[in-house]
Chains A and B, each alone.
Chain A
Amino acid sequence: MAARLEGTLPAGVELLEREGEPTALIDAWDGADAVWLVDAVSSGAEVGTVHRLDASESELPTELFRASTHHVGLAEAVELARALGRLPAKTVVYGIEGESFQVGEELAPAVAAAVEPVAEAVREEVAQCMRRS
């Protein structure tokens, strides 16, 4: 995903890759007006399904992001940040339904197929956001 987005985002937009560790995430988006997060999810939906959640509007369901092997995943990091007043005013999360979360495996075809559409959606939203500000 990061590779797809590399070089395609406007100036003033930072592209970062993180492991999902909460302090790193909260620090990474500190001071930002808006943040888009892309992560793998496991909700039982069909592999490759794309979930879009607007965390600015409502709390994230923490069960959705259990794919992380760290105790505290993406959703927890977002909700923690919110409770601490450290969540950007606009926070959008894209979750791509994964198939298998084993170490070292390649992306399932259905997941790989979802990458470009999500990248495109993120580019569009970022562009819209920049136009408005």
Chain B
Amino acid sequence: MSERRTKTIKTDYLARVEGEGAMLVRIADGQVEEVKLNIYEPPRFFEAFLRGRAFTEAPDITARICGICPVAYQMSSVHAMEQACGIEVGGQLRALRRLLYCGEWIESHALHVFMLHAPDFLGYQSAIELAKDMPEVVASALELKKTGNELMTVVGGREVHPINVRVGGWYRTPRKRELKPLVEKLERAREIALEAVKITSTFDFPDYDQDYELVCLDEAGAYPIDLGRIVSSRGIDIPVEEYEDHFVEEHVAWSNALHSKVIGRGSYLCGPLARFAMAFDRLSPLAKEAAKEVGLDASERNPFRSIVVRSVELVYAADEALRLIAEYEEPDAPSVEFEPRAGVGHGASEAPRGLLYHRYEIDDEGTILSAKIVPPTSQNQRTIEDDLRGVVERSLDVPDEELSLLCEQTIRNYDPCISCATHFLKLDIERR
């Protein structure tokens, strides 16, 4: 009887992702036997923690789920609470939310593109190694991130866990003159972003693609960031409150993060690649042009090219922020007046990493009775595992160390926010 040749690629601690993750891929006799994305960060009990708190606290508490995408949590939570209370926040109050969100997209994407993902493509172990050889590139990345942070501080009151967001609008809205100093910085950010599209488009991309079911928000006339219906590339087109009729979370033994799937189908993809494919036409002219110039279009399904897509979204976010600032008129009141009422509210927004869904039930005093939060990284978990399987299947002859790095790079395509996905997410590759 011949000995069964198996290899296991194992990474106990996945670097350059938010939070803690481990990866396992087991190959036996030339077949990929097992793929697991293991989240070992201690489970986050935010959903339970929110119970009994006032509805007004939801944006502040949930913001602390993530240090990189607090605005996403705030936006999804206020939308849900506003729906429960039967109010709408529109006009300039909404425009400011979108502006704040642009700040977050900029700082989050800037960090990921240059410091977390680019090292993979350029053969560096870390952003520090990259900085030693290409200081100008890293310096621009930091400048870009800083501009995103500054925008968040001006509109949100603070860059990490903005304090200015409330159900109904804002505690304070900015004066036009407070936004003015950001214009030059955003124009410079746009320049850096355009360079990033060019630079990232020249990277070596593994030849891999999938026919994903793409899921994102949809709003007529706007690239999806803060509001909209939920749509998919396989025909889903629903209001946010019907999310749970179409998407379900399942617990898997090897992970602290739940796995999502489309009911009746399977894994799906949310995030930049989904938005880009579904809403390409609604990018700003400059962003569209930048994409076209490097041969990127709405048919892109190679997840490794997400880094270029993120760079295009950086151009868009800078463009959109500049537009919103140019069109800003100081609103009469910083927020909408209302009283809480008993009910259930659903909210969703596009975090830098993808669709973020919140659902709350509150009583007639606005006390939270239950909370459900589905971050983009948990929605993408199954898809990440599919990709790992697919990439490894095509690379069985690649030496172990290189394969392990390739697997890590594959995971980083999703810019996974493991801290968010653990309400609980870890990566191990085993090759025997």
Interface residues of A (CB under 8 A from B): 19, 21-24, 26-27, 62, 69-72, 76, 79-80, 83-85, 102-103
Residue contact A85 to B18, C-beta cutoff 8 Å: no
- In Å, the complex CA distance between A72 and B114 comes to 12
Majority-rule SS of B interface residues: helix
| Interface pairs (25), CB distance under 8 Å | A19-B159, A19-B160, A21-B149, A21-B159, A24-B146, A27-B146, A62-B128, A69-B18, A69-B66, A69-B67, A70-B18, A71-B17, A72-B111, A72-B127, A76-B126, A76-B128, A79-B131, A80-B128, A80-B142, A83-B135, A83-B138, A84-B138, A84-B142, A85-B135, A102-B42
Residue contact A103 to B111, C-beta cutoff 8 Å: no
Q: B417: nearest residue on chain A (CB-CB)?
A: A71
B362 nearest CB across to chain A (Å): 22
Q: A104: nearest residue on chain B (CB-CB)?
A: B64
A83 nearest CB across to chain B (Å): 4
B89-129 at interface with A (beta carbon < 8 Å): 111, 115-116, 126-128
Known: A23-B145, A72-B115. A80 touches B68 (CB 8 A): no
Residue contact B139 to A84, C-beta cutoff 8 Å: yes
- In Å, the complex CA distance between A83 and B137 comes to 12
Is B404 interfacial (CB 8 A cutoff)?
no
Beyond A23-B143, A23-B146, A79-B128, 17 additional contacts (C-beta under 8 Å) are A23-B145, A23-B149, A24-B159, A27-B146, A62-B128, A69-B18, A70-B67, A71-B116, A76-B126, A76-B128, A80-B131, A80-B142, A83-B131, A83-B132, A84-B138, A84-B142, A103-B64
- In Å, the complex CA distance between A23 and B107 comes to 10
Choose one: B16, B127, B160; the contact of A21 (CB below 8 Å): B160
- B142-175 interface code vs A (CB 8 A; 1 in, 0 out): 1101100100000000011000000000000000
Residue contact A71 to B111, C-beta cutoff 8 Å: yes
- In Å, the complex CA distance between A23 and B139 comes to 10
Choose one: B17, B127, B135, B149; the contact of A24 (CB below 8 Å): B149
Neighbouring A residues of B419 by C-beta, 8 Å: 69
- In Å, the complex CA distance between A80 and B116 comes to 13
- In Å, the complex CA distance between A92 and B401 comes to 36
Neighbouring A residues of B131 by C-beta, 8 Å: 79-80, 83-84
Neighbouring B residues of A26 by C-beta, 8 Å: 142
Is B19 interfacial (CB 8 A cutoff)?
yes
Most buried by A among B68, B128, B139: B128
- In Å, the complex CA distance between A23 and B127 comes to 14
Neighbouring B residues of A24 by C-beta, 8 Å: 146, 149, 159
Q: A80: nearest residue on chain B (CB-CB)?
A: B131
Neighbouring A residues of B67 by C-beta, 8 Å: 19, 69-70
Neighbouring B residues of A71 by C-beta, 8 Å: 16-18, 68, 111, 115-116
Q: A68: nearest residue on chain B (CB-CB)?
A: B67
Residue contact B142 to A23, C-beta cutoff 8 Å: yes
- In Å, the complex CA distance between A27 and B278 comes to 38
Neighbouring A residues of B17 by C-beta, 8 Å: 71
Neighbouring A residues of B135 by C-beta, 8 Å: 83-85
- In Å, the complex CA distance between A72 and B130 comes to 14
Residue contact A76 to B127, C-beta cutoff 8 Å: yes
B53 nearest CB across to chain A (Å): 13
- In Å, the complex CA distance between A132 and B221 comes to 63
Neighbouring A residues of B127 by C-beta, 8 Å: 72, 76, 80
Most buried by B among A70, A71, A72: A71
Neighbouring A residues of B149 by C-beta, 8 Å: 21, 23-24
- In Å, the complex CA distance between A85 and B131 comes to 10
Neighbouring B residues of A83 by C-beta, 8 Å: 128, 131-132, 135, 138
> Which 4 residue pairs spanning A and B have beta carbons closest together?
A83-B131, A23-B146, A79-B128, A83-B132
Neighbouring A residues of B139 by C-beta, 8 Å: 84
A130 nearest CB across to chain B (Å): 30
Neighbouring B residues of A103 by C-beta, 8 Å: 64
- In Å, the complex CA distance between A72 and B145 comes to 12
Q: B148: nearest residue on chain A (CB-CB)?
A: A23
Residue contact A69 to B142, C-beta cutoff 8 Å: no
- B368-385 interface code vs A (CB 8 A; 1 in, 0 out): 000000000000000000
Neighbouring A residues of B145 by C-beta, 8 Å: 22-23
A21 nearest CB across to chain B (Å): 7
Neighbouring B residues of A102 by C-beta, 8 Å: 42
- In Å, the complex CA distance between A19 and B149 comes to 12
Neighbouring B residues of A62 by C-beta, 8 Å: 126, 128
Neighbouring A residues of B64 by C-beta, 8 Å: 103
A53 nearest CB across to chain B (Å): 16
- In Å, the complex CA distance between A71 and B418 comes to 10
- In Å, the complex CA distance between A109 and B142 comes to 37
